[in-house]
């Protein structure tokens, strides 16, 4: 049957148009047969599909029991086996937006320089979907493939990520000992101090409070240590989420982040790992509040412009396009931008590209020409000139300094 006559291919066409969720069809060996969006699949490595299919087999999934993996740096990937032996891969899709630094750190060790720009652009533009939404889409795909109704309860979720931020063995042991040695209930001022630190975006104070809390213990909600730890986590993450919203983190972002951490906790069976996740979640919320508060001094117009630049930094950014995106004239945008940031739009874009070049020079082995191309500098010479202007040295000298 040709692709044009394949009903499932036609369904994938429609689903992609409606959701913009990347989709792929592969054979049992991980070779890609179809891909949405329509682009070169050279940078979508066969090894990635093979690993995903391996996870599918290890979890004993089948045509009516799809699998959703949560992989670094925080993306969902859905896998469904089709009745004819092919596989459908759905994703990546993110429950939360990711910074350029996160995406670049993920891509740097996995993507060849020639495909870095295309792959990063793909990840930066994936749809934002919650786990329930992702499960619903997998159910639709399964029903289209098999003709059978599939329930979200039939979709297995597996968390393959590492805990972030990472905790050292000493910190992990300190957290464990603090939890074991508490006597009496944790006083209200401890919770207040934690929430205040998060609302202020004060990461140093939060870390101090988390590692060396006031004496006390959590109320006993279960005689089962695992259940007790899970109940404590749910109560704590609720307080943290509200504190983050109070501190300026958008409510939708905060609640989505809370859902992700609760879903990660729900598949854990080790109380110590849950305790470390609790620490990581609080620090993550605090860091995001800090970033949100840093942008709060700008007007909605300038924040919109900054957000668009952040997402499209690796593309050609024209003043006319920015003005259209922000819904104002170029004159209004340039005037307000300079008034609030103290610099021109062109200077800001160049500074941001140089800042990102610093990251690539420190953490990757890409050549100067590859970095210049990825960051959309017109020539390598212009890249070196701009870098020297902002950093006081050449990119080569900066890399040698480590």
Sign of CA dihedral 307, 239, 258, 288: positive
- Does residue 27 sit in the same domain as residue 131? yes
With bands split at pLDDT 50, 70 and 90, how would you rate the model's confidence at 402? low
The C-alpha R_g of the chain, in whole angstroms, comes to: 24
Q: What b/e string do you get for 337-362 counting C-beta neighbours within 10 Å, with b at 16 or more? A: beebbeeebeebbbebbbebbbebbe
**CB of 80 closer than 8 Å to CB of 143:** no
CATH number of the domain to which 345 belongs:
1.10.10.60
Q: Is residue 223 a part of any domain in this protein?
A: yes
- The pLDDT score that the predictor gives to residue 212 is 56
Give the chain's domain count: 3
Question: What residue numbers bound the domain in which 271 lies?
Answer: 178-294
- The answer to whether residues 280 and 307 belong to one domain is no
The answer to whether residues 94 and 128 touch, using CB atoms and an 8 Å cutoff, is yes
Domain check: are 145 and 94 in the same one? yes
Write down the pTM of the prediction.
Answer: 0.50
The CATH number given to whatever domain includes residue 151 is 3.30.450.30
Residues 325 and 239 in one domain: no
Q: Are residues 25 and 150 in the same domain?
A: yes
pLDDT tens across 137-188, in order?
999 999 999 999 999 889 988 877 654 444 444 544 544 444 444 434 444 4
Reply yes or no on whether the pLDDT at 199 is more than 80.
yes
91 shares a domain with 193: no
Residues 137 and 22 grouped into a single domain: yes
CB atoms under 10 Å from CB of 261, counted, come to: 21
Residue 70 covered by a domain: yes
| Percentages (nearest 5) of helix, strand, coil residues in the chain | 60, 10, 30
């Amino acid at each position: 049957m040709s692709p044009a006559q394949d009903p499932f291919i036609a369904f994938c066409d429609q689903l992609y148009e409606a959701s913009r969720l990347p989709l792929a069809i592969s054979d049992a060996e991980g070779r890609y047969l179809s891909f949405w969006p329509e682009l070169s699949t050279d940078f979508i490595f066969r090894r990635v599909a093979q690993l995903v299919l391996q996870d599918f087999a290890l979890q004993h999934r089948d045509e009516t029991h799809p699998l959703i993996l949560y992989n670094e740096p925080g993306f969902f990937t859905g896998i469904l086996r089709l009745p004819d032996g092919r596989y459908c891969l759905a994703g990546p899709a993110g429950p939360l937006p990711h910074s350029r630094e996160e995406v670049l750190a993920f891509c740097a060790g996995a993507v060849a320089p020639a495909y870095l720009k295309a792959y990063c652009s793909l990840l930066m533009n994936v749809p934002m979907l919650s786990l329930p939404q992702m499960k619903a889409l997998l159910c639709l795909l399964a029903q289209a493939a098999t003709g059978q109704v599939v329930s979200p309860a039939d979709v297995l979720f597996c968390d393959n990520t590492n805990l972030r931020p990472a905790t050292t063995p000493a910190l992990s042991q300190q957290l464990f000992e603090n939890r074991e040695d508490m006597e009496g209930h944790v006083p209200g001022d401890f919770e207040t101090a934690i929430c205040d630190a998060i609302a202020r975006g004060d990461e140093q104070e939060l870390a101090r409070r988390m590692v060396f809390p006031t004496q006390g213990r959590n109320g006993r909600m279960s005689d089962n240590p695992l259940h007790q730890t899970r109940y404590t986590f749910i109560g704590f993450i609720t307080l943290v989420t509200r504190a983050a919203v109070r501190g300026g983190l958008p409510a939708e972002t905060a609640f989505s982040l809370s859902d992700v951490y609760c879903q990660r906790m729900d598949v854990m069976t080790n109380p110590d790992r849950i305790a470390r996740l609790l620490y990581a979640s609080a620090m993550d919320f605090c860091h995001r509040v800090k970033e949100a508060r840093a942008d709060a001094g700008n007007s909605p117009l300038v924040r919109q412009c900054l957000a668009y630049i952040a997402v499209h930094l690796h593309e050609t950014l024209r003043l006319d396009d920015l003005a259209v995106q922000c819904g104002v004239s170029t004159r209004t945008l340039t005037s307000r931008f300079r008034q609030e940031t103290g610099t021109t739009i062109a200077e800001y874009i160049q500074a941001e590209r140089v800042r990102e070049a610093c990251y690539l020079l420190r953490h990757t082995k890409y050549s100067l020409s590859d970095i210049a191309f990825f960051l959309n500098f017109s020539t390598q010479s212009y890249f070196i000139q701009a870098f020297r202007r902002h950093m006081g040295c050449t990119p080569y000298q900066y890399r040698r300094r480590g």
